[in-house]
Amino acid sequence: MTDSPHPDAGPLSVPAGRRPAIAGLGMTELGKVYGPTSAQFAATAVRRAVADAGLALADVDGLLTSSGVTGGVSVDLQRELGLTDLRLLTHMQAYGSTAGSMVQYASMAVQSGMASVVACVFADSPLRPERRSSAIYGTRHAGAGWWGLLGASGVIGANPMYALAARRHMLRYGTTSEQLGHIAVAQRAWAALNPAAQLREPITLADHQESRWIAEPFHLLDCCLVSNGGIAVIVTTAERAAQLAQPPVHVLGWAQAHPGHHLRRDPDFGLTSGAAQAGPAALAMARLGIGDVDVAQLYDCYTFTVLLTLEDYGFCAKGEGGPFAASGVLGPAGKLLLNTGGGQLSGYYMWGMTPLSEAVIQARGQGGGRQAETHDVILVSGNGGVLDHHSTLVLGSAGAAS
């Protein structure tokens, strides 16, 4: 584990007016939405985020873009939006950890004065009416070289790799499929309260266990959705955000971790992730502890990713994620408010923008029937690759930032 940041390194040491805040959130229609390209989804999301903040496109002087498996989103989005005289422009890619990383870089930009209003956007459009969603991610790495060897052995895509990681955890700690199922059931219960969720029909643990196998130990209900759409956020200074249309969501702390163990012999594969470094570091920057967290929005490409992140962030001890999930602590009636929009398992799959967007909604107090009563501190995770990349954000309402 890396050392904690210097106590003066975080945004709380910066003059209050220059501390970073999220001032706008833009979301397109999400899910089985056919027609628009990824670039069109991205442009719509940025325009909606700018309008949500009460700004004009001309106010934007920074643009960070990211795209999913279909690509199509790049720095060329500047032209699509008609943005001129940008002071910050780049395309970023660290898979599911990218959204959190974009907010981190945007925060440093506005904090330093490099830019004043930065739009961060992700969009993807992998769904097609004529093909199954399983075909989208399952074959994208099959080909020559090392990936070809994996393909020849049947290890194609993320499903079997994450299944190996989960199996490792099961063998070491006794984690069970039923324990993973409790995560799926709890998040579906949250999704039932979210009008934007793709899957809102309640499920039981029996439903989870009876859903078809994808790659043992994963059932269908252990695996995330596939969605079309785009989401953008606007990052600016706290001083400016306080004058805009929405309640500011303050960026209190952040960190990244990139273990670099992908496809290598690694004694920790499946047992720990970059969350073990990034989580404590981000909380230290915010000068908070895990006990201060009111709401957690954790990246959930699989139920197992949630379980591992819960352990690595310190919500429970290492190896106790399974019993913790099965204890009744999750779901709308539980004491840990986790993935309150249904996450990527039942809500919508926009990579790291899924947990980030729900965190913004909760921090603003705009969650409707799923709104957390206490939402001053929200922990947000992003995970990329097969536990290869991790980003953490600590977000806060006005009360947490004071």
Q: Is 264 exposed, middle or buried (0-12, 13-18, 19+ CB in 10 A)?
A: exposed
CA atoms of 354 and 367, how far apart (whole Å): 14
Exposure on the CB side of residue 45, measured as CA atoms within 13 A: 35
Residues 6 or more apart from 178 whose CB is under 8 A from it? Answer: 205, 208, 209, 326
Q: E strands along 83-215, which residues?
A: 88-91, 117-124, 213-215
Q: Would you state the structure tokens that stand for residue 73, as one six-digit string? A: 């989103």
What amino acid is encoded at 261 in this protein? Answer: H
How far is the C-alpha of 372 from the C-alpha of 369, rounded, in Å?
9
- Name the residue type at position 306: V
Beta strands in 180-308 (DSSP E): 213-215, 218-219, 229-237, 249-257, 295-297
Give yes or no: 95 in active site.
Answer: no
Q: How far apart, in whole angstroms, are the C-alpha atoms of residue 176 and residue 322?
A: 7
* Per-position b or e across 52-89, b if 16+ CB within 10 A of its CB: bbebeeebbbbbbbbbbebebbeeebeeebebeeeebb
Closest CA to 99 of 60, 53, 66: 66
Element (H, E) at 82: none
Q: Which of 137, 299, 302, 313 is catalytic?
A: 299
Parallel, antiparallel, or unpaired: how do β-strands 377-384 and 295-297 relate? Answer: parallel
| Closest of 379, 348, 106, 43 to residue 234, by C-alpha | 106
Helix (H) or strand (E) holding 395: strand 389-396
Residues assigned a catalytic role: 299, 349
